[in-house]
Amino acid sequence: MPYPLSNSSGRTMQTPAHVAIIMDGNGRWAQARGLPRFEGHRRGVEAVRRAVRAAIAHDVRYLTIYSFSSENWRRPADEVAMLMGLLKRFIRNDLADLNRNGVRVRIIGERGNLAPDIAPLLVEAESLTRNNRGLTLTVAFNYGGRQEIVEAARRLATDVRDGRVDVNAIGVEDFAERLDTAGLPDPDLIIRTSGEMRLSNFLLWQAAYAELVFLPILWPDFDDAAFVSALDQYAARERRFGAVAESAAVMSAS
């Protein structure tokens, strides 16, 4: 199914500008059905397509997905090879549709140790869609939040050493500008599937004030209904960013 061109949900509740998803549960989905892990990952790619369509349909401006962590290299070599193959297939099969529908693709994560048949595909995906103005789809690939923070600190330290930055003037924005996600707003909502309740080294800096929603479903079962369920939970919460709720402030004043 092609990606929709514009919002068609008719939702009137508060919608997050940026949704990030930890896509968890492919292996368990396959195991529960007596299928090889490959089938779980393959179905997971289909769920990615549904998530992109849902984000566009519900007027989300930024969608970030955790596709492959820097720790995933510890998995069996045949599974890693399979995941690389699925990534290549996704880019080759879906990039034209994404571009046609105005989706801008960004890739965050370490690229220095990637195979020569992977790195050019990532560059192609970003280059082809760079000028698009629809949904920004950020793919966290070979990504780890701690490593991202270390690299940002290293860049900042280098700039201080070389006289480009005054160490006494460093602020939060100076650090954020050196993260992989520079130019993107922090996520408003982070969704994790499979029922696990942790961030698993994903967007550790950026998640400071994100709302977290943990869904009990496994990733291959993720669909529009699951997306709406997370959006509804988000809309029901009051985001204060460390401030006092307005109602509490009024009561205190009285």
Q: How many CB atoms sit inside 10 A of residue 86's CB? A: 18
With a CB cutoff of 8 Å and minimum separation 6, the contacts of 165 are 156, 159, 174
- Is 29 exposed, middle or buried (CB count within 10 Å of its CB: 0-12, 13-18, 19+)? buried
Return the residue matching tokens 């707003």. Answer: 185
Query: Which whole-number Å values give the CA distances from 137 to 44, 103, 157, 187, 208, in the listed order?
Result: 16, 7, 30, 12, 21
Judge whether 188 counts as a catalytic residue. Answer: no
Neighbours of 91 (CB within 10 A): 20
Rounded Cα gap, residues 125 and 167, in angstroms = 37
Q: Active-site residue among 7, 72, 174, 186?
A: 72
What tokens were used for 7? 């919002």
24 is catalytic: yes
Neighbours of 198 (CB within 10 A): 11
Among 24, 94, 188, 221, the active-site one is 24
Kindly report the backbone phi and psi dihedral angles of residue 143, in degrees, each rounded to the nearest multiple of 5, phi listed first.
-115, 140
Please give the DSSP secondary-structure letter assigned to residue 233: H
Q: For residue 121, what are its two tokens?
A: 């595909």
Enclosing H/E stretch for 247: helix 246-253
Helix then strand then coil, in percent of the chain rounded to 5, is 45, 15, 40
What is the rounded distance in angstroms from the CA atom of residue 229 to the CA atom of residue 235?
10
Q: Which residues are catalytic?
A: 24, 72
